[in-house]
């Protein structure tokens, strides 16, 4: 699904309403899938062919917690960097589907 995604948190701390409102977000292809029994949501460049380039770090264990004005709010966890010992932070995304 093509969508605009806005992150509500930075390193687990909620951004100000002003910052969230003025953030244009990223536009990309949003996918939700299971990897080793864990749900994962990603946002990739919609023009990529072959290997997808993530526009944001993946959101692990995403859960829809609200539906507002044509968009959905998800909660989950993001990792900073690669590897199993990287910091993990609570994150919220607003996902607004866009027409193709």
Per-residue pLDDT of 4-58, as tens digits, reads: 999 999 999 999 999 999 999 999 999 999 988 889 999 999 887 777 789 999 9
Nearest C-alpha neighbor of 76 from the set 87, 61, 66: 61
Contact 71, 94 (CB under 8 A): yes
Strands 2-7 and 71-79 turn out to be unpaired
Name the H helices within 1-100.
Answer: 17-22
pLDDT score, position 48: 79
Nearest C-alpha neighbor of 38 from the set 84, 96, 4: 84
């Amino acid at each position: 699904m093509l969508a605009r995604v806005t992150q509500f948190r930075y390193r687990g701390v909620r951004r100000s309403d002003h910052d969230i409102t003025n953030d244009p977000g990223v536009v990309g292809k949003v996918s939700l899938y299971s990897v080793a029994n864990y749900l994962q949501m990603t946002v990739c460049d919609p023009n990529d062919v072959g290997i997808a380039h993530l526009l944001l770090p993946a959101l692990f264990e995403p859960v829809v917690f609200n539906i507002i004005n044509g968009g959905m709010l998800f909660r989950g966890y993001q990792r900073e960097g690669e590897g199993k010992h990287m910091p993990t932070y609570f994150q919220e995304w607003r996902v607004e589907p866009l027409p193709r």
